[in-house]
Amino acid sequence: MTLEDLTRYESAAVAATNAKKDASLAVVAMANFYQNIGMGEDPIIQASFQSANAGIKADTGISDAGLINAIGLYSQKYEETFTETKFSDLVNYLSEGYDIPKEAKEALTNYGNVTLMSLMNKMKEKDISDNLKESVQKAISAIGMLKDRKLRAGTLNIINQNVYAQLSQLYPTEKSEESE
């Protein structure tokens, strides 16, 4: 699995994070997902979004079964890709655009080519030393915190775009007298 795969499925993971608490954010996240993979204009997908938005307006949530299934499928692909990506790549992906303490980044990148799944499996071993167990637990916890921040940032990005669009409607750009 690659960082490209993580980036591809990230919007679906953001959608899954928001599907129950704010369905409209989930629909926008999935629209971003389909736009990113070049299917944003597909008429079937557009019909799915119209159906989902109608359900949201009727206060019944995302009522389109196809979109609900897509959120589940592609957010699961994100999770699978996430656990199968090399730790060093995960750290770079999750810290992109954000500061994390130098010591934390160094400690996490020391896991190099090991995947998160490998570390989780390591925790199940009976003969793991207490020191190694503590170190692995800290690394898994840290990656979880960074992942949570990344997905929340995706949600915040959608909210920021919505606020910008609404403000642009409230205060449209005025045409200058010279252009008339």
Return the pLDDT at 30.
95
Q: How far is CA 66 from the centre of its chain?
A: 20
Instruction: Return mean pLDDT, the chain.
Output: 91
Residue 160 in domain: no
- Do residues 35 and 80 both lie within one domain? yes
- Do residues 1 and 80 both lie within one domain? yes
Q: Is the pLDDT of residue 180 over 80?
A: no
Return the pLDDT at 103.
94
Mean pLDDT value of segment 145-154: 96
> At CA 74, angle to CA 104 and CA 143, rounded to 5?
10
pTM exceeds 0.75, yes or no? yes
Return the pLDDT at 177.
52
Return the pLDDT at 62.
87
Q: Region of 78 please: left (phi>0), alpha (psi -120 to 50) or beta.
A: alpha
Range with the poorest average pLDDT among 29-33, 133-137, 175-179: 175-179
Return the pLDDT at 117.
95
- Do residues 61 and 98 both lie within one domain? no
- Do residues 37 and 98 both lie within one domain? no
- Do residues 48 and 92 both lie within one domain? no
Cβ–Cβ < 8 Å for 19, 62? yes
- Do residues 108 and 57 both lie within one domain? no
Mean pLDDT value of segment 69-82: 96
- Give the per-residue SS3 of 68-137: HHHHHHHHHHHHHHHHHCEHHHHHHHHHCCCCCCHHHHHHHHCCCCCEHHHHHHHHHCCCCCHHHHHHHH
- Do residues 68 and 104 both lie within one domain? no
Q: Is the pLDDT of residue 72 over 90?
A: yes
Rounding to the nearest 10 degrees, give the CA dihedral for residues 27, 31, 34, 35. -170
- Short-list 115, 133, 113, 114, CA closest to 124: 133
Number of domains present in the structure of the chain: 2
Residue 161 in domain: no
How many angstroms separate the CA atoms of 39 and 36, rounded?
Answer: 8
How many angstroms separate the CA atoms of 68 and 34, rounded?
Answer: 14
- What is the span of the domain harbouring residue 57? 1-84
Return the pLDDT at 61.
83
Residue 77 in domain: yes
